Amino acid sequence: MKLGMAVVILSIVLLVTSVSAHAMEMNGVEYPDAITVNGVDLVLNGLGKREATIFNVDVYIAALYLEHTGSDGYAICQSDQTKRLILHFVRDVSGGDIAGAWAEGFMKNSGDDLAVYESRILTLNSWMTEMKDGERMMFTYTPGIGLQVSVKGTAMGIIEGSDFATVFFSIWLGDDPPNGGLREGLLGLD
C-alpha cells in the first residue's frame, strides 16, 4: 500500500511540474506557452506589463502569441501571420480610458494616414467597455480576414484590413509603446 501511495504522489508531482513548465507567469497572471487558433499553432512570444502614470501603476499583463516567434517589432507587425494579443487587466479601467489609449496609440503609429483608419478606430472604440480586474480583451489577426476583437469572452466583431492590424500591433511593438518594458517583454527581450 505504501508503494502505491508513493507512486500516486510521484505522479501528481510530475503532473504539476510538467504543467508549470508549459506556462509563463507575470504578476500572478499565467499564460500557456502555446495555443491553437483556427487550426493554427501559435507560440507565446513574450509577456509585458502595461504601467500607467508617473507612479507606474500596473494596468494589464499582455501576452503576444505568434506563428513564428521573433524580436523585431516591425517585422512582426507587418508579417501576414496569425497573431494574438491578450490583455489581462489587473485593475479596473473605464471604457473611455481604453478608447483614449487606442486613439493616442493610433495617432503615434499611423503617421499621416490617421484619416484612413478613422472609421475602423471608431468601430473598435464602440466595442470598448469598462474592464474589471481579472477580465480580458483578445485581439486575433488572421490573414485574409482581419482583426477579431473579443471583450470579456464575447466576440465583438472583425475589423478588416491588414493595414489596420499592422498599425494596431504597432501600438505595442512600434517605436512609441505605452511603456518600454511592455514592448521589451512582448518581444521576449527582457
Q: How far is CA 157 from the centre of its chain?
A: 17
Topology given in CATH for the domain delimited by 26-186: Chalcone isomerase (3.50.70)
Tell me: the pLDDT tens digits for 149-172? 999 999 999 999 999 999 999 999
Q: Is 175 helix (H, G, I), strand (E, B) or coil?
A: coil
Alpha-helix residue ranges (DSSP H) falling in the chain: 2-20, 73-78, 95-109, 114-126, 162-173, 180-186
Position 114 pLDDT exceeds 70: yes
In the chain, where are the structural domains located? Answer: 26-186
Q: Per-residue confidence at 7, pLDDT binned at 50, 70, 90? A: very low
pLDDT tier at 73, thresholds 50, 70, 90:
very high
How much is the mean pLDDT over the chain? 88
Model-level pTM?
0.86
Contact, 44 vs 31, CB < 8 A? yes
Q: Are 164 and 117 in contact (CB under 8 A)?
A: yes
Instruction: Tell me what pLDDT residue 53 has.
Output: 73
- Per residue in 36-59, pLDDT tens? 999 999 999 999 999 887 777 899
